[in-house]
């Protein structure tokens, strides 16, 4: 946006944020960290904590850290540390139109 211009919504915002997150996750892995994307956060609280201006949309949060042994997790979280299943590609992608 140039100085003096009225701000407008960017239609591609979510697409751009997704691309940025993917690069962040890859770079974290390269550096020996792990990244965990989340939308199950308290958006209103996060806005206040971060002091976000009204024209900035908070899309998601990312936790960055190093992996540790699941045994060190509190009970209740430990048992969740198992590989999750993956849907077949045919279930999540289609060729052509929806109809």
Ligand X SMILES: Cc1cc2nc3c(=O)[nH]c(=O)nc-3n(C[C@H](O)[C@H](O)[C@H](O)COP(=O)(O)O)c2cc1C
Task: List contacts with ligand X (CB under 6 A).
Answer: 36-40, 84
Instruction: Name the residue whose CB lies closest to ligand X.
Output: 40
Nearest residue (CB) to ligand X, 40 versus 51? 40
Q: What does DSSP assign to residue 10?
A: -
Give 2 or 67: the residue with its C-beta nearer to ligand X: 67
Q: What is the nearest approach in angstroms of ligand X to the Cβ of residue 99?
A: 26
CA–CA gap between residue 37 and residue 48 (Å, rounded): 20
**Least separation, in Å, of the C-beta of 18 and ligand X?**
9
**Residue 62 has which token pair?**
């990312």
**Tokens of residue 32, six digits:** 């020996």
């Amino acid at each position: 946006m140039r100085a003096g211009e009225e701000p407008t919504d960017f239609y591609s915002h979510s697409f751009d944020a997704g691309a940025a997150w993917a690069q962040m996750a890859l770079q974290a892995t390269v550096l020996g960290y792990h990244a965990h994307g989340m939308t199950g956060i308290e958006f209103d609280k996060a806005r206040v904590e971060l002091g976000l201006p009204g024209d900035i949309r908070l899309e998601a949060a990312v936790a960055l850290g190093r992996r540790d042994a699941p045994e060190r997790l509190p009970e209740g979280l430990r048992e969740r540390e198992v590989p999750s299943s993956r849907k077949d590609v045919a279930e999540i992608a289609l060729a052509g139109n929806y109809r």
